[in-house]
Amino acid sequence: MGKKPFVTKEQLDNIVKEYPTPFHLYDEKGIRETARNLNKAFSWNKGFKEYFAVKATPNPTILKILREEGCGTDCSSLTELMMSDRCGFQGNEIMFSSNDTPAEEFVLAKKLGATINLDDITHIEFLKEAAGIPEVISCRYNPGGVFSLGTDIMDNPGDAKYGMTRPQMTEAFLKLKELGVKEFGIHSFLASNTVTNEYYPALAKQLFELAVELQKETGVHIGFINLSGGVGVPYLPDQEGNDIAVIGEGVHKAFDEVLVPAGMGDVKIFTELGRYMLAPNGHLVTKAIHEKHTHKEYIGVDACAVNLMRPAMYGAYHHITVMGKEDQPCDHMYDVTGSLCENNDKFAIDRMLPKIDKGDVLVIHDTGAHGFAMGYNYNGKLKSAEILMKEDGSTEMIRRAETPEDYFATIEGFNF
């Protein structure tokens, strides 16, 4: 069973004529539909807002599309805050969640009126000295141990560098209350890229119960609960995707069971879904330029791990479509490789695909989040362009490819 690209061969042949491969291609129609479905799934909550994780796809054109669909931004660095500001996001449309945070980043977040989410109890004093304590603040919670759903271990929060312990949450809230905070939020992230409708409701129930306890212990006003990210996408072709409507309803049920009876039915629900929003709405488009027959069969493409690092970094699976050969039998086993001097620079290992010829265009699926964004310049490789396919099928370059001049621009004392 395959995955279907959001672009046809005919469309892509024309796009490739205009923009040399490799490039990242994004689907505006898909992005808008995803945002609308998410907003609809949580429309039962009056203050609901999606804060798109800028780290996933840091491109202003993408951010502006999401802003038009009612989303805010989730930032984790100085430049992400600057980008959000320049794209017109203001005040509480920006969430600032970072760790090991430099003082200048807290200063800018406070100046922009962003909602600051503190990762550690020692950051209270640090923020106070750097920028002052705002009236609205959030704290990140880490329950420790292992997070499981039924008998499946989903992730290991106890090993994660993020968040505060349960006793620290109480201590932090009391300390912040003393420092004049009027509205509190709780944030937590317990598992990454979950493909199950159970994750968000289970996380929500934990956080709702925590909110009720903290409110009783500290007497503070808890205004919002941020479920952060973790709702994943089906990278594998035979995997069933999440149903956001079912997820929204599951969170609704937990909300009605835990928060409403405690008199906390006005709590706003926030999400930070980078991967869910963008991954399926992006393709890495690349061309086969070499074939090699040694101990294995290799197809060399003009993209490499610089364009998409996930397979090299985590051994992540990304589905590949050979355009124009969708109906041919997958009877050839290939490693699909890039040109880096690293043996892990492979988009696929022992993958059954149709026979690939030099010049074939390959679409690598689900690269719209954590694709371009994780790029780097090892081997002096240059980052590719980003192209937006608009709703009417026309295309626009939303980031040009890097040039050698860009690569050399930061070097001092030499003229190239």
Which of the four pLDDT bands, split at 50, 70 and 90, describes residue 148?
confident
Is the confidence at residue 204, as pLDDT, over 80?
yes
Q: What is the mean pLDDT of residues 307-336?
A: 97
What tokens does 141 get?
């919670």
Which residues neighbour 383 within 8 Å (Cβ) at sequence distance 6 or greater?
Answer: 306, 307, 372, 375, 377, 401, 402
DSSP string, 339-390: SSSSTT-EEEEEEEES---TT-EEEE-S-TTTTGGG---GGG--PPEEEEE-
pTM above 0.85? yes
User: What residue ranges do the domains of the chain occupy?
Assistant: 9-23+280-406, 28-279
Mean pLDDT, the chain, whole residue set: 96
**So which residues are the catalytic ones?**
341
Which of the four pLDDT bands, split at 50, 70 and 90, describes residue 408?
very high
Give the CATH number of domain 9-23+280-406: 2.40.37.10
Is the confidence at residue 359, as pLDDT, over 80?
yes
Alpha-helical runs (H) found in 236-305: 244-254, 274-278
What pLDDT, on the 0 to 100 scale, is given for residue 320? 98
Is the confidence at residue 151, as pLDDT, over 80?
no
Residue 231 DSSP code: B
The class (CATH top level) of 28-279 is alpha beta
SS3 per-residue string spanning 141-199: ECCCCCEEECCEEEECHHHCCCCECHHHHHHHHHHHHHCCCCEEEEECCCCCCECCCCH
Per DSSP, the three-state class of 38 is helix
Q: What is the mean pLDDT of residues 149-173?
A: 90
Is the confidence at residue 181, as pLDDT, over 70?
yes
Which of the four pLDDT bands, split at 50, 70 and 90, describes residue 363?
very high
What pLDDT, on the 0 to 100 scale, is given for residue 38? 98
What's the CA gap between 388 and 244, in Å, rounded?
25
Is the confidence at residue 280, as pLDDT, over 90?
yes
Which of the four pLDDT bands, split at 50, 70 and 90, describes residue 158?
confident
Which of the four pLDDT bands, split at 50, 70 and 90, describes residue 1?
low
